Amino acid sequence: MARSKHPELTRRTLLDAARRVLRDKGATLSLDAVACEAGISKGGLLHHYPTKDHLLVALAHALIDQFHDRLKAAHAEEIATHGNAPGAWLRAYVHLNFTPQEGGEALTAALAPLAAVPEVLHGFREAQAFLVKEAEADGLPPGRAHAIRLACDGLWTSRTSGLPDLTESQRAALEEELLSWTRL
């Protein structure tokens, strides 16, 4: 592939390729496999992401941004359907966390080791600070808002870390309980 005059498009192509490689092969991702999947030379990949860690950090941030976009859309849909009553943002958050995205768990598990790197973890915290702010701004008592958000985060963590998971009926009961907490 010739050098692109649109580096943002090339970076997006590389991140999409990395996502597919991680989904299909797990943590065994190699830069060669990503470059091949993207149809870009390894040198072209290295121009944009000089190391595997740079690529994985960029992918993790892209996934955070993608989740944020999905959350904004779910929140807008919640408001359109039920109005902007307190708890609308948290209801959208609950719904998203209880609706697994294809390949999402494999990607998260493959990226999890990056969280052990202090500077990467700091960047992830900053990138996800919107979760705390938006939960608190949703109009529910702050303690309840954080309990709902953290319960969703715990569910997500248990699915991706190998901790015991809930059955479908247990998951449905938890979702309904959390949604009930979003109503004053």
Q: Is the same domain home to 115 and 147? A: yes
Give the per-residue pLDDT at 28: 74
The DSSP-derived string for 21-89 is HHHHHGGG--HHHHHHHHT--HHHHHHH-SSHHHHHHHHHHHHHHHHHHHHHHHHHHHHHHH-S-TTHH
Q: Is the same domain home to 66 and 148? A: yes
Q: Is the same domain home to 13 and 83? A: no
Residue found under tokens 């849909």: 77
Q: Is the same domain home to 111 and 129? A: yes
The CATH number of the domain holding residue 21 is 1.10.10.60
Domain count, the chain: 2
Give the per-residue pLDDT at 106: 63
Q: Is the same domain home to 103 and 165? A: yes
Give the per-residue pLDDT at 107: 64
Residue found under tokens 């938890």: 174
- Phi and psi torsions of 41, nearest 5°: -65, 155
Q: Is the same domain home to 44 and 66? A: no
Rounded distance between C-alpha atoms, residue 115 and residue 123, angstroms: 10
* Cα–Cα nearest to 44, from 62, 71, 17: 17
Enclosing domain of residue 137: 59-181
Give the per-residue pLDDT at 24: 83
Sign of CA dihedral 34, 37, 43, 49: negative
> Quick one: residue 33, left, alpha or beta (phi over 0 = left, psi -120 to 50 = alpha)?
alpha
Q: Is the same domain home to 79 and 31? A: no
Q: Is the same domain home to 73 and 103? A: yes
**pLDDT over threshold 90, residue 32:** yes
Per residue in 50-98, pLDDT (tens digit) is 998 899 888 888 888 888 999 999 999 999 999 999 999 999 999 999 9
Rounded distance between C-alpha atoms, residue 184 and residue 181, angstroms: 7
Q: Is the same domain home to 8 and 76? A: no
Average pLDDT rounded to a whole number, residues 4-22: 89
Q: Is the same domain home to 69 and 7? A: no
The radius of gyration of the chain's CA atoms, rounded to the nearest angstrom, is: 18
Q: Is the same domain home to 109 and 140? A: yes
